[in-house]
Amino acid sequence: MLKTTYLTPMRLAAFLMSTSILVTLFMATVAQASHPDPEPAKITYEPDQIFDPGHPNRIAVIEIAEWDQNAGGLIQIELYEHLCPITTANFIDLANSGFYDGIKFHRCIDGFVAQTGDPNTLDDNPYNDGSGGSDTPIPLEIHPNASHVNGAVGMARSSEPDTASSQFYLCDGPQGNLDDWNRSGDGYAVFGVVIEGMELVNAIATCETYEDTYGNTRPLLRDHPVDDIVMSRVYIIAGKDPSNTEDGGSGSSGTNDPAPDVRQSPSPLWIPLLATVPLLLILGKRKLRK
């Protein structure tokens, strides 16, 4: 005959306590899944001092002078003012001051980027190209919805995060490896996207470089264009209002959707609950005797 031994008061108190702990853990996990902690902001700013939400994103127009057998043309970039107000304000100020006028592209890699914005390219010494910038560096301003899609425009910098100033690059194809969430260290800040003239970006990125012409005899100039590719003028125009359908819609091409913020996924519910299963089995088990 089997005789059941009931829980003693001490065992009953321990069981009730463990049950209370389990309920608390479950409720906390549900709350975390419903309201995940946001990513800490890298910078702080007052939006109304930099970006006027009453107007659409402005557009940067880059006039590329004729080079070699290429006729040049225009590249239009929608600036992500609503996502990266500090970076775009810096770029707009430089463009409006004439800083970029006459500057050359100094680094061109097929399938990767075309880089420019260094005032050192204004002289005749190619060996100092890529080492200069403006006088004012800006903080690293990364937004999870501004990713390195095809045609993305980002800020070049040194190995230190807050060193970008005037140099920027245009992506020749998607470059997800430059996004902050795909790197062990800091990523690079995207602040706009090409909406017209992508074929010209590709022509610049695939231009003849010193490596193509001289092989490895000039390694320091490996990715430097042989012919001068000059931004004869960079200026800013008003953006198109996305809500206005009379002029054909948004100023954006609509083909470069930003990547989702994959860093804010909540933890699965079963992870903390799984760890409490052994405690339940021990405290809730009843002993049986013959």
Give the residues across from 78 on adjacent strands: 59, 193
For position 55, what pLDDT does the model report? 80
More confident call, 169 vs 9: 169
201 three-state secondary structure: helix
State how far the alpha carbon of 42 is from the alpha carbons of 141, 148, 213, 215, in Å: 7, 19, 43, 42
Neighbours of 34 (CB within 10 A): 8
**Residue 187 pLDDT grade (very low, low, confident, very high; cuts 50, 70, 90):** very high
Residues 197-252: tens digit of each pLDDT: 999 999 999 999 999 988 888 899 999 999 999 999 999 999 877 666 454 443 33
282 three-state secondary structure: helix
Statement: residue 8 has pLDDT above 70: no
For position 240, what pLDDT does the model report? 78
Mean pLDDT of 251-270: 35
The whole-angstrom separation of Cα 65 and Cα 273 is 64
Statement: residue 99 has pLDDT above 90: yes
Domain ranges of the chain: 3-35+269-289, 47-253
For position 15, what pLDDT does the model report? 63
Residues 147 and 259 sit within 8 Å (Cβ to Cβ): yes
Give the residues across from 288 on adjacent strands: 4
The whole-angstrom separation of Cα 151 and Cα 144 is 17
Kindly state the percentage of the chain with pLDDT values over 70: 65
Neighbours of 77 (CB within 10 A): 27
The whole-angstrom separation of Cα 88 and Cα 45 is 13
Statement: residue 173 has pLDDT above 60: yes
For position 254, what pLDDT does the model report? 34
| CATH of span 47-253 | 2.40.100.10
**Residue 3 pLDDT grade (very low, low, confident, very high; cuts 50, 70, 90):** low
Q: What is the CA radius of gyration of the chain?
A: 28
The whole-angstrom separation of Cα 200 and Cα 195 is 12
- Within 13 Å of residue 133, how many CA atoms lie on the same side as its CB? 18
Q: How many residues does the chain have?
A: 290
Residues 145 and 129 sit within 8 Å (Cβ to Cβ): no
For position 20, what pLDDT does the model report? 62
